[in-house]
Structure 1
Amino acid sequence: MRVKNGSTTFLKVIIFLIGVAILTLCIYWLPEMAMKDAKTHPDTAYFLIPFLVCAYGFCITFSIALFQAFKLLTYIERNNAFSELSLKSLKVIKKCAFTIIFLILLGIVSLAVLVKVTGEDAAGPISLSLMGILATSIIAAMMDVLQKPIKDFLDKKAE
């Protein structure tokens, strides 16, 4: 199974660009947004802590999944797609997906508490969060589906 280097190189560049965007989000955008919101709403500024914990946890977990996807593409380029290393990368990506789902749920709970205190409407952010959970669940299911043929191949190889 020979894979053209152009397609994997393109995917690696995309993964790298997404990683740069996540890094920019963590360094510049999140702290700036938190400071603006704390100045605008000083009475509920303490609610920013759970959101920042969820946001940075999400960014770190997503970065780990991106790195594992980058490694998986490297294994594919080297014709090691059906190896223990690629299976391990898929397992880490699946665990990252479940961690992201947990962090999104934690953010929804924090938002629900904030809504109870302030009385504002949070239907938009909650619906976006639920869409994120759906997308992440699909990725976790895909990783599980991709693990099965690799496991079967490695089991047949071991026999």
Structure 2
Amino acid sequence: MMKRETLFLKVTLVIMALPILALCIFVVPLVAEFLAELVPNLAFLQYPFQIGLYVAALIYFVALYQTLKLLTYIDRDTAFSDASVTVLKNIKLCALIIGTLFVVFMPLIFMMGDADDAPGLIVIGLGIIFGCMVIAVFAAVLQKLLQNAIDIKSENDLTV
């Protein structure tokens, strides 16, 4: 019944993963080297910054996998289950962790933007933080709504 729509969303998830994978392979090492060149007194932070970006990407892939699991539950007509609530909780947690990582990285991003006179870096960092927070709040609202729907459904099943 929902197979066509969820297939489209699954393909979209794969397409969303590809640019981040490309960024991890090609851009992240260059950004870490760029940080060391721009701010030489903080060159020792090059590798922790790079590792942090890889961790953020890994958590992003975990969130995409959780979304894929949620779409699979929808395909199987088990969307109104505790497993779906758990998946939404995991997506919320992933978004919060990524947002927190970028809050921690924001001083470095600010220094890079200030040294290179590129305020766009700061805007990109803030955009990622706010985007993660929006996703976390949205997942929390969906989690609460889904939990309420499951509770109402179980009450109705008990009364019949």
Taking structure 2 as the reference length, the TM-score comes to 0.81
CA distance in 2, matches of 1:39, 1:124: 18
CA distance in 1, matches of 2:40, 2:54: 22
> Which deviates more, 41-50 or 80-89?
41-50
3-state SS of 1:48 partner:
helix
Alpha-carbon offset, residue 40 of structure 1: 8.4
Is 1:145 matched with 2:141? yes
Give aligned pairs, total: 155
Alpha-carbon offset, residue 105 of structure 1: 0.7
CA distance in 1, matches of 2:52, 2:21: 15
3-state SS of 1:7 partner:
helix
Tell whether the 8 Å contact from 1:54 to 1:106 is kept in structure 2 after alignment.
no
Q: Which residue of 2 aligns with 1:10?
A: 8
Pairing partner for 2:132 from 136, 141, 153 = 136
Which runs of 5 or more structure 2 residues have no equivalent in the other structure?
A: 156-160
Letter in 2 for 1:55: L
Q: Which residue of 2 aligns with 1:81?
A: 79
Alpha-carbon offset, residue 109 of structure 1: 2.1
CA distance in 2, matches of 1:123, 1:37: 15
3-state SS of 2:77 partner:
coil
Cα deviation code 1:1-59 (max 9, x no counterpart): xx421111011011112223323322333235545765788775433223212211110
Q: Which residue of 2 aligns with 1:123?
A: 119
Question: Structure 1 residues 127, 65: closer, same or farther in 2, change over 3 A?
Answer: same
Letter in 2 for 1:136: C
Tell whether the 8 Å contact from 1:12 to 1:73 is kept in structure 2 after alignment.
yes
- What's the RMSD between the two structures over aligned residues? 2.6
Tell whether the 8 Å contact from 1:50 to 1:110 is kept in structure 2 after alignment.
no
Task: Among all aligned residue pairs of Structure 1 and Structure 2, give the percentage whose two residues are the same amino acid.
Answer: 35
Alpha-carbon offset, residue 77 of structure 1: 0.9
CA distance in 2, matches of 1:52, 1:38: 11
